[in-house]
Structure 1
Amino acid sequence: MPCLTGSARPRASVGCTARGSYRPVVSSPYSKSTAVAAALSALDEGRTPERPVLREAVRSLLAGLAERAPGRSVEVRVPPYGAIQCVPGPRHTRGNPPNVVEMAPDTWLALATGRIGWAEAVTEGRIQVSGVRADLSAYLPL
């Protein structure tokens, strides 16, 4: 949403009161849920989901986690599709964060939708976890 103050300076420095993200809406909630369903269906059939579908599914579920656990103390990474910071606590700003959760896209889909549990995924080594705040079991499944 553009700032209507007429200044060329960034919105934060002008004092613009416009609400919302500076990023355009890329897709609707309907297409996100469709992407998640399509990706899960492909995985259930033993197929690899199409790259754009998998990317949209991962990103929409990451956004759901960010809404459910607002904060910046844990970084959740699902390479190559996305990463977010979430969970209340001390904010991390530079370098490698102390609390990191990283996993493959198919693991993230299964975890976020409740197809596997947090403890099971960690025990099987499907999730790499570091830091004392990196336990997301209280926020999953979405």
Structure 2
Amino acid sequence: MDDIIRKLIRKYKTSCPFEIARGLGIQIRYIDLGKTTKGLYYRKLRRRFIVIHNELPAEWQRFVCAHELGHDQLHKGINRFFLEEHSYFAPGKLERQANGFAIMLLTAGTVMHPEETLENYCKRTGIPHEMQVFIQP
């Protein structure tokens, strides 16, 4: 996973998931996905899509884009939904991997300061508070 992220950042000269997705030709859409779905990734007729719930705060939209980009890079050919009710405490293997990808991408090039709390690190790097359980200090 580290290698994939490093190559993406080097190629697109950014760790912004939106810019990387556009560079990869992934179309990003914003729609109302209801109360429990934050985003989804799917392929249709060789076209790739990331759909993000349009009522999420910007911090969550960024995380969801990175998460769904993780599905694109790690789980080729599998359509996935990012479900709020299953993503925090007992996510399946693919969801844990996509969360790890998102965190690694969004924190690339940053380190946790010696006296910094995990909560402050998440704020500084734009990781939603609920996702800090997936950060490995």
Same fold (TM over 0.5): no
Q: Which has the higher contact order (CA 8 A, sep 6+)?
A: 2
Report the TM-score, using the length of structure 2 for normalisation: 0.28
Which structure has the larger Rg over C-alpha atoms?
A: 1
- Structure with greater proportional helix content: 2
